[in-house]
A and B are shown apart, each in its own frame.
Chain A
């Protein structure tokens, strides 16, 4: 391996524009030298900023040292350059699974598998994620959520239905979203897992600053999603009789109430 490293370094020194930096960076990463791997990869990225493989390699180096947020940024950049990049889908699938965002994890891992059907790590990861997703969907709804909602949102418009506070792992903390009389809170919460990180990454990478809210207008109503605290996400749903501007006001009041309730609960 040492000989290989020397040979690759020599080749890169002879031709700094060469793509051999990818092999060298990978070899250094596998050898447990993340700093050296990062230096080689960043130098390569400086010369080849639109090379998806280089962003994927740098993401894996960052993930190795625990910088998952920046790793996610790099994998997202890789996908923006090459939307079917298997390594980037695998990486984002891994991150989504850590955030218990099983739907996104499944989607990324299935795309990673389509890119390389022979990768056993992806097959195993898909099996694990599918099992976790099924377990979550089979879980009974949290009966305490309604009681928590009365404490958190008592007195607010829609406190009994239409407000949902979830944690970053997609678990309901308070509230209820009923559809046809049946509480869908657990399912909505599962879909929201990781939404905060995705919104934050999207806003950061395209120059929108810190994300403050998402508003979605649908045929039967609107939903407003916002982070009352960095560790929570609040979804407010109203039908079409409530205009989006009014929904914004309702959402701000609910966010204030959620913040107070979370602070109280943390004491």
Chain B
């Protein structure tokens, strides 16, 4: 799939009100594969930090007996980071406002993941 095709798939996520941007990231090293971000969102930082955080949370989650997470949210006072692995190698990432409809974003991320499969 080309970069433009990846971008088209993830752009659907950014149409949800309150989503500041979405990207597809290489899970192993946190490099951006494709992105659709609002101005001011630091794509490189989001990609690297999201990949690292998901790996750490994944280890704790597996040790807790619930298995490798298929959806991870980091909630902050001024926003949230939502991630969804797509296969072994890629991670779908969205940055959103704190009051975003998480269920809707999650749905769009699942649809995007299907589109990427």
Q: Do A and B bind each other?
A: yes
| B71–A83 CB distance below 8 A | no
Majority secondary structure, B binding face: mixed
| B72–A210 CB distance below 8 A | no
Residues of A within 8 Å of B72, CB to CB, are 214-217
| B65–A205 CB distance below 8 A | no
| B69–A217 CB distance below 8 A | yes
Q: How many residues of A contact B (CB 8 A)?
A: 48
Q: Give residues in A with beta carbon < 8 Å to B.
A: 76-77, 79-81, 83-84, 103-104, 177-180, 184, 187-188, 191-192, 194-195, 198-199, 201-203, 205-223, 225, 235, 237, 239
- Kindly specify which of B1-9, B11-19, B51-59 makes contact with the partner chain: B51-59
Q: A83-B48, A214-B75 are contacts. A235–B81 as well, Cβ < 8 Å? A: no
| A214–B64 CB distance below 8 A | no
Given A191-B56, A219-B70, A237-B65, output 6 extra A-B contacts at Cβ < 8 Å: A80-B45, A81-B44, A179-B63, A211-B75, A216-B58, A221-B66
A187 to B62, CA, bound (A): 10
Q: Which single member of A104, A205, A237 contacts B64 (CB below 8 Å)? A: A237
Q: Give residues in B with beta carbon < 8 Å to A.
A: 29-31, 40-42, 44-50, 52-53, 56-81, 95, 98
| B60–A80 CB distance below 8 A | no
A222 to B60, CA, bound (A): 11
Q: A208-B80, A220-B65 are contacts. A80–B47 as well, Cβ < 8 Å? A: yes
Residues of A within 8 Å of B53, CB to CB, are 198-199, 202, 214
Shortest Cβ distance from B80 into A: residue: A208
